[in-house]
Chains A and B, each alone.
Chain A
Amino acid sequence: MSEIDLTPIRPAIENYIPMGRAGLLPALHAAQKIYGWLPEDVASEIAKALRVPLADVHGVIEFYSMFYNEPVGRRIIRVCTDQACALKGGDGLLNHLCKHHDVEPGQATEDMSLTIESSPCLGLCEQAPVALVDDDAETNISPDFNEYELGLPRSIVYGSMRKLTANCGEGTTSLEKYGEYAGLRKARTLSRVQVIEEVKNSGLIGRGGAAFPTGIKGEGAERAVGNQKYVVCNADESEPGTFKDRVLLTDDPHQVIEGMCITAYAVGASKGYIYIRGEYPYIVPILEDALREAREAGYLGEHFDIEIRVGAGAYICGEETALFESIEGKRGFPRVKPPFPVTHGLFGEPTVINNVETLCNLPLIIKEGADGYRKIGTEKSPGPKLFCVSGDVTLPGLYEVEFGMTLRELLEMAGGVAGGKSLKAVLLGGAAGVFATSAHLDIKLTFEDLRAAGLSLGSGVVMVFDETRDMRDSLNRLGHFFAHESCGKCYPCQMGTQRQMEILSRVASGKTLPEDILRLQDVGWTMTDASLCGLGQTAGSAVLSAIKLWPELFDAKTAEAK
């Protein structure tokens, strides 16, 4: 083996050394930029510099899909083979590329110039099929794979209102165009408690999937005692079918930053983090520019500043406590709750962690006041809402609408099922959501109406499947997704996602065994009831909903007959 030149490491990781262990992910990213992968000597050098045990550094590299401890090609193409892309030929694209370059998925070419991998959802679902080519998005790849768009992905924004997306659709909005942080200015004329009261009165509910009231969170952190308080923006948007945060961050970063500044003022936080998923590398420079603009304008500085952290391929890091662990330089294992983040969050200190879309609502709430804000939406679900519409619809894209619109109205706005076909199913809320059918079309898309109907809003995913789709294929992909993304900490999810995947794979290939439906139910309910975190608690959700809707799909006899 040729000797590896270690001299470029030190300068590359210099800035991260004072952070200690919390500098581990940025240091590994920096080293991987130099070497393409993370050889043993490099990992060892980083461990020494940051004073992290060697075994722990290895454990971290092993945890994240986008860190490699074996050589990979100089270029990496990650082809999305998840739900929405699968509907548009994602598998075919992967096979085509692999055949063309004479490699198997996950392999590098002989000359080490290229590695091709399949990837979980890349958050570009409205422009499927897609791939990530190093740091560029490759979108709208044509059926014969000869045409595509490469670079920063476009934002496709529709809907009935433009509150959160007012500055979206025409490229990144500079601070000059965004204008002053008027919400923050107004917030500073109020007391901290008044700001929190305003948010509480607005009725804002978190948009990340867990549906927790944002004002209550802020109140908890404001009252909590700590050495330092943190505001964290959860931009680890990884729920299959979700791409709203990508659009908000790309086109209107200052709206997010202003939301964080308002939160920091309200709870008394002096430090903020934006944790963005590793699959959105093209957004990082946009955020860096926006943070620089905000610093120059005096919105950020000594009293409150924000650092960007980039994930490395782990859906679990969207879970708030796993995200903290990741910022702290550890494997993304979710923590046991309580204690909750508002008292014991990042670095054990009081922390407010909010989703990107949630934060974008804050400038609006402060500017318009809780009463003004409540004029939009319903009593229990006030405000505007972003829906990520993808799959078999005529006009896939990001839709901003008022809470209270029915699923039928939203689908009509999106031009209905593509090609004049009829509707088979809608995956609502993402992989962690549930399937709905045409029987659910007149349900209002609000937290309360969906809950009453046994459905979920999740992260705002509306993925459409037409009548010709074999739902067993979709279920098989769900199974693989959760097995790939389970962190492995708690038994129900660690083994349950594996067993669920094996059974769904049997079902998809027509080899269903008698009683597989009962196995899926026991595994699904055990994960739902007994898992440690939200990932495991929702890993069986869509499958259990499919069993209710289409029990015949799981029938061993039907499978035999085919």
Chain B
Amino acid sequence: MTDSLTLVIDGQEVTAEQGKTLLEVAREMGKDIPTICFHEATTANALCRICVVEVEGQRVLQPACVVKAGAGMKVQTRSEKVIRARRTILEMLQSTMDLSEVPEIQQMMVEYGADANRFPDAQRRESEVIDDNPMYVRDYSKCLLCWRCVQVCADDAQYTFAINFDGRGFDTQIGTFFDKAIPETSCVLCGQCVGVCPTGALKPKREYLLEQGMPPQEIGVLNTGRKQRKAK
């Protein structure tokens, strides 16, 4: 076959289709490479770096989500360097944001021996819950900046361009034009951003209100609308 190639992952020789990423090949082998920002429906930006692997001959670790399998590549998915990077990234995340609604990352922390209190006196990214529209609430204390919401709002899906970034570096936060409330932006309430949010930073309003202890019958807006429509 001309469109397949052979490489070695963790000492195991494997044949892969041309064009597949290291993540795809490794997962087909049943290997567990963790991912955070990666989502099959959005453009992979290789920004969380939790999926990095060590490729022989490369100066730095390589993100498995975007690097294509190459003939003769020698890959280690759990070298010392890889484990140190993953553990430290997890420890930094824990010291930065509210991970309470991300059991997958909590599980990763256990697996990589990450210390939840590794960085004492660390500045956290905290912000008030923004409840400014009938569809969803935004709690950026829980945002890990995976960019998926910005991408689906833009040219990965909806072409609405309602949200982008405030600030830069550690102080980056997802934001609207001059911090306008969602109804004053180009948002069409399609809900795609809520659908791809991995941490509960974006949450359907109904779910949020239920969590706040509001009785379901009092969560009126949408139900009322439907009842009224049905009654007509």
Contact = CB atoms under 8 A, between A and B. Distances in A.
A110 B9 CA distance: 64
Interface stretch (B24-32, B130-138, B159-167): B159-167
A537 B49 CA distance: 13
B52 interface: yes
A496 B61 CA distance: 16
Interface residues on A, range: 35 or more
A492 interface: yes
B4 interface: no
A57 B177 contact: yes
Interface residues of B, number: 49
B2 interface: no
A181 to B, nearest CB: 38
B50 A491 contact: yes
A491 B186 contact: no
Contact of A526 (B47, B84, B161, B167): B84
Interface in A1-56: 40, 43-44, 53-56
Interface stretch (A283-291, A376-384, A402-410, A527-535): A527-535
Contacts of A497: 169-170
Given A55-B161, A498-B169, A502-B123, A526 B85 contact: yes
B169 A484 contact: yes
B76 interface: no
Given A62-B175, A494-B145, A488 B168 contact: yes
A44 B185 CA distance: 12
Contacts of A451: none
A494 B169 contact: yes
B120 interface: yes
Contacts of B166: 58-59, 62
Nearest to B49: A530
A113 to B, nearest CB: 25
A491 B48 contact: yes
B84 A522 contact: yes
Interface stretch (B10-18, B88-96, B208-216): B88-96
B122 A537 contact: no
Nearest to B65: A336
A115 interface: no
Among B92, B154, B178, max chain A CB count under 10 A is at B178
Nearest to A484: B169
Nearest to B89: A491
Contacts of A489: 45, 47
B178 A519 contact: no
A49 B135 CA distance: 31
A462 interface: no
B170 A530 contact: no
Contact of B61 (A53, A519, A529): A529
A162 B63 CA distance: 45
Contacts of A58: 164, 166, 175-178
A95 interface: no
A523 interface: yes
Interface string A473-488: 0000000000111111
Interface in A489-546: 489-492, 494-499, 502, 506, 513, 519, 522-523, 525-526, 528-532, 537
Contacts of B48: 490-491
A532 B170 contact: no
Nearest to B160: A53
B173 to A, nearest CB: 9
A496 to B, nearest CB: 7
Contact of B165 (A53, A54, A62, A526): A62
A138 to B, nearest CB: 27
B186 A53 contact: yes
A531 B165 contact: no
Contacts of A55: 161-164, 175-177, 185-186
Given A498-B123, A530-B49, A523 B88 contact: yes
A417 to B, nearest CB: 35
A63 interface: yes
A487 B50 contact: no
A486 B47 contact: no
B46 interface: yes
B178 A495 contact: no
A69 interface: yes
Contacts of B186: 53-55
B168 A486 contact: yes
A492 B85 contact: yes
B20 interface: no
A433 B175 CA distance: 35
B122 to A, nearest CB: 6
B127 interface: no
Interface in B109-162: 118-123, 145, 154, 161-162
B219 interface: no
B85 to A, nearest CB: 4
A537 B176 contact: no
Contacts of B85: 492, 525-526, 529-530
A229 interface: no
A528 to B, nearest CB: 7
B168 A62 contact: yes
A491 B92 contact: yes
Nearest to B185: A55
User: Which are the 5 A-B pairs with shortest beta-carbon distances?
Assistant: A53-B161, A59-B164, A488-B172, A498-B170, A54-B177
20 contacts: A53-B186, A55-B161, A55-B162, A58-B175, A59-B164, A62-B168, A336-B45, A486-B169, A486-B170, A487-B168, A488-B165, A490-B49, A491-B48, A491-B89, A492-B88, A495-B93, A526-B88, A528-B60, A529-B61, A529-B81
